[in-house]
Amino acid sequence: MVAMGGGPEVPSRGDSKELLLCVLPWPQKSSEKMMNEIRDEFPNLDLQYVQEKYEKRSDRGTMVLPEEIYKHAHVLATLHWLPPKASAVPELDLIQFFSAGTNHVAHHPIYKDSTIPLTTASGVHGPQISEWVIMMHLVHSHNYIPLYEAQKRKEWEGVAGRSVRDAVGQRVGVLGYGSIGRQVARVAKAMGMNVIAYTASPRTTPESKRDEGFIVPGTGDPDGSIPSAWYNGLDKKSLHEFLKQEIDLLVLCVPLTKDTTHFISTDEFSVLEKSNPHGTYIANISRGGIINQAALIKALETKQISGAALDVTDPEPLPSDDPLWSAPNCLITPHVSGNTAVYAERAFQVLRENLRRRMDGKKLVNQVDRKRGY
């Protein structure tokens, strides 16, 4: 809601209503349908919307709001913006992030010094990101880049298209078997690929293999039945045992924490090289810091791996003079794999589910464990 002067209006609420404040980068009109559904289902909520506007990535979360806008909020829906500290929002008892993770606010006082429950939109990214992963794998395995370059030269040259290795029987290693990894597994299995999974903790029982997060209907692996094998651990020995399994496509889906920073580096590239004569193709859709970027460039240059598809880099944006841009067999996109026209709608669905659980006193979906980092 915007005042005549161009700034956010101070919410006007009945005393009996709780304030649900949305500070999001999309125009309010794009989310009006879901917002109206929430208003209808929760008449005790006064829903107020402020569009967070920024020109540069570095400006995200820096918008200054008058204290009157947020000081009486009970629930906050946000992508980047947070109040300055917990004492500024004494009635706040839920922050619903519209992002998959919270590492971008890990140093904020509300994250470090408060106990306000934080939840994420994990689960809304599976369909579009899994399509990006498979698209990049097919571009690589079908040698599409040289064919496209020949098209631009107007040359009918099919040599590059003869050395295709189709997906049937190839092994996909999903490092981080959350909602994104589960949808990658679903699509990969439909293509005839074998899937193995890696998680931080053991998944030895049917209950532990289930996905307890938000699931886009008709997607993912809700009961965890797709992987032919599960591996686990945060130590290098356990990780190397997983990487030894002749993985053709390694998909990095783990959150960035102190334990996973540079989780894939020189030693891991060596393990992959020794285990797979065809070469492993790596797709990273998590965070750039999961990979030691200097080691990745060397692995590409020395053909320790067959190639890489990166939607994330370290840093972001990637500087124009960074050697990663010219590394061989490397495809880079500017952190866009999670984009979809229905992103906000799906994220509001997660918010609505958590509003239900909050009202009923049930466990929240996608609640962040601050000690674990996700």
70-119 confidence digits (pLDDT tens): 999 999 999 999 999 999 999 999 999 999 889 899 999 999 999 999 99
Cα–chain center distance at 88? 29
Residue 5 clears pLDDT 50, i.e. is over it:
no
Give the Cβ contact number of residue 238 at 10 Å: 14
d(CA 94, CA 134): 36
pTM of the prediction?
A: 0.88
d(CA 346, CA 44): 22
- In order of start, what are the domains of the chain with their CATH numbers? 18-124+340-360 (3.40.50.720), 126-332 (3.40.50.720)
**Which string of DSSP letters, residue by residue, matches 41-57?**
H-TTEEEEEEE---SSG
d(CA 147, CA 33): 44
d(CA 374, CA 367): 8
Banded pLDDT at 12 (limits 50, 70, 90): low
267-325 confidence digits (pLDDT tens): 999 999 999 999 999 999 999 999 999 999 999 999 999 999 999 999 999 999 999 99
Q: Are 182 and 172 in contact (CB under 8 A)?
A: no
d(CA 182, CA 186): 6
Q: Are 281 and 248 in contact (CB under 8 A)?
A: yes
Query: Which structure tokens are listed for 293?
Result: 């970027």
Banded pLDDT at 373 (limits 50, 70, 90): confident
| pLDDT reported for residue 289 | 97
Q: Which residues pair with 47 in a beta bridge?
A: 20
The identity of residue 238, as a single letter, is S
Phi, psi of 342, deg, nearest 5: -110, 20
Banded pLDDT at 6 (limits 50, 70, 90): very low
Q: Which residue has the tokens 């889906």?
A: 253
d(CA 349, CA 213): 12
Q: Which residues pair with 195 in a beta bridge?
A: 172
| pLDDT reported for residue 3 | 35
Across 359-368, average pLDDT:
96
Residue 10 clears pLDDT 80, i.e. is over it:
no
| pLDDT reported for residue 1 | 31
| pLDDT reported for residue 13 | 47
**Which string of DSSP letters, residue by residue, matches 282-339?**
EEE-S-GGGB-HHHHHHHHHTTSSSEEEES--SSSSPPTT-GGGG-TTEEE--S-TT-
Percent of the chain with pLDDT over 90: 88
161-220 confidence digits (pLDDT tens): 888 999 999 999 999 999 999 999 999 999 999 999 999 999 999 999 999 999 999 999
| pLDDT reported for residue 266 | 98
Query: Which structure tokens are listed for 296?
Result: 């990745």
| pLDDT reported for residue 158 | 84
Q: Are 353 and 238 in contact (CB under 8 A)?
A: no
**Torsion angle (degrees, nearest 10) of CA 35, 41, 45, 46:** 40
Annotate 246-277 with b (16+ C-beta within 10 A) or e (fewer): bbbbbbbbbbbbeebeebbbeebbebbbeebe
